[in-house]
Every structure is written in structure tokens, then in C-alpha cells.
Amino acid sequence: MCECCLHAAAPQKAFGRRAILQFGAAAAASFALGAQAHAANDKSPPKPENVISPDAALARLKQGNARYVEGISRRHDFKHERGALATGQNPFAAVLSCADSRIAPEYCFDTARGDLFVCRVAGNFASDEMVASLEYAVQVLKTPLIMVLGHEACGAVDATIKSVKDGTTLPGHLPSLVEAIRPAVDAVKAEAGDMLTNAIRRNVALNVDKLNNAEPILKSFVGDKRIRVVGGIYELRSGRVDMIA
């Protein structure tokens, strides 16, 4: 090869080496990003035992409540589970409960930290904020079960009954509770039996129905059978949670 040809070929060789090096660096970066994404997808949930079906989640709640009623609740190791839960959460059930101090979902279902996603408000009704919270549990945390948990002698329902009957307006922000619970009270006015008991059960049923049909997230998950929404009533004396249709 002549000297001119050597000079002409030299830049081409240099460019080829740079291209190879650049290609190799890009490939390495791409591989690293892919490995990170794969690792993130393969990351184990904080509590693998909580990755269960909706039916299994309901059965687990019932079993926990049976232990609680019998007074043989498990001893939970709160100290040594903190490390895993510091990285995230994957509760196996969400509970929309009354704010009554006598009702403690974590106790009455004999669960540990990270097991239940609990939303509480006097009268256990599904406001927009409660629906949004439960959407988060279902969509992001992959929670397979929602329970609306009412209870005997609910003060919020009783106050609503009295307000409706007497035509009175409660002070402060309490009228917002009355408006939320009133549909249940109105629905049982003509029913036989104790009005408070009937209204408590109807309030749970109405909110179960509301969550089942809350678009777009919850209704879609219910339709695909990825979640279940159920209702229960907590008995104050026994601690038993009775399921309602």
C-alpha cells in the first residue's frame, strides 16, 4: 500500500475503534438499566404471605376474628418486622371502619403491622377521600379485599336518626355526617324491628354497593375479580364480626 493510501485509511481505522467503544458503552449502559428494571420487578414484597386471592384474604380475616373472639390472639413480633416494612407495604385487606374507639380492626382480626390498610371515619361511609384511599390500596398496593366494617350501637348512625326524626341541625361540621348516613336511615324507615340496628346494617350494605360501583378503578377490579368488597358488623360484647349480604 502506498503512503497516500495509508494516510487515507488511518482516519477510517480510528473512527472504527471509536464507534466500537461507543457502541460497547451504550450496550453496557442499556444492560445495566435493563438489569435494574428487572431487579425492581422481581423485588419481593415486604410480606410475601400477604400476596393472596380475595377469597383467601377473607378467610384469613375470619380466622383472625375467631382467634380474637376466643381470646387466643397470636403474639406478633413487631420489632423484627420493622426492617421489611420500612421498604414498603402490601396489606392483604383494606378496612373502611368507624372511628369509634371501641373498634380496632387490627385487633379484632388479629393482624400484625403491614397486614391491614385501614380507613376510619365516624359512620364508616365511603366519602370521596375514602374511595381515593381505597383506590390507592387496590391499584398501587395490590390489596385484594375491602371490608366495610360497621358496629353495634353506632353513635354516628344514632345521631343521624335523631336529626332526621326531629328535623334538627347538629352543630359544627356534624351535618356532613348526617348527610352521608341519611340514605341508610331513609331506607329503613318503614322496616320492622329496631331502627338503629336496621340502619347500621343498611349503611354498611349501601357503602359496599358504592365501592363495588366506584368508577373507574374499583369497579374495574371487581369486574375482573381481582378484588372483593364485603361488609361486616362488629358485635361489641363478643367481638365477633358478622358478615352481611
With bands split at pLDDT 50, 70 and 90, how would you rate the model's confidence at 215?
A: very high
7 vs 77, residue with greater confidence: 77
Residues 101 and 195 reside in one and the same domain: yes
Residues 212 and 238 reside in one and the same domain: yes
Rg (CA), the chain: 28
Domain residue limits at 4: 1-43
**Total domain count for the chain?**
2
CATH code, domain with 92: 3.40.1050.10
Q: Is a pLDDT exceeding 60 seen at residue 112?
A: yes
pLDDT digits (tens, 9 = 90+) for 22-38: 444 444 444 443 434 33
Residues 130 and 191 reside in one and the same domain: yes
Residues 132 and 18 reside in one and the same domain: no
69 vs 4, residue with greater confidence: 69
Residues 133 and 187 reside in one and the same domain: yes
Question: So what's the pLDDT on residue 82?
Answer: 87
Residues 3 and 98 reside in one and the same domain: no
Residues 178 and 229 reside in one and the same domain: yes
Mean pLDDT of the chain: 87
Residues 6 and 96 reside in one and the same domain: no
pLDDT digits (tens, 9 = 90+) for 42-67: 578 999 999 999 999 999 999 999 99
* 203 and 121 Cβ atoms separated by less than 8 Å: no
Q: Which residues contact 118 (CB under 8 A, 6 or more apart)?
A: 94, 95, 97, 105, 106
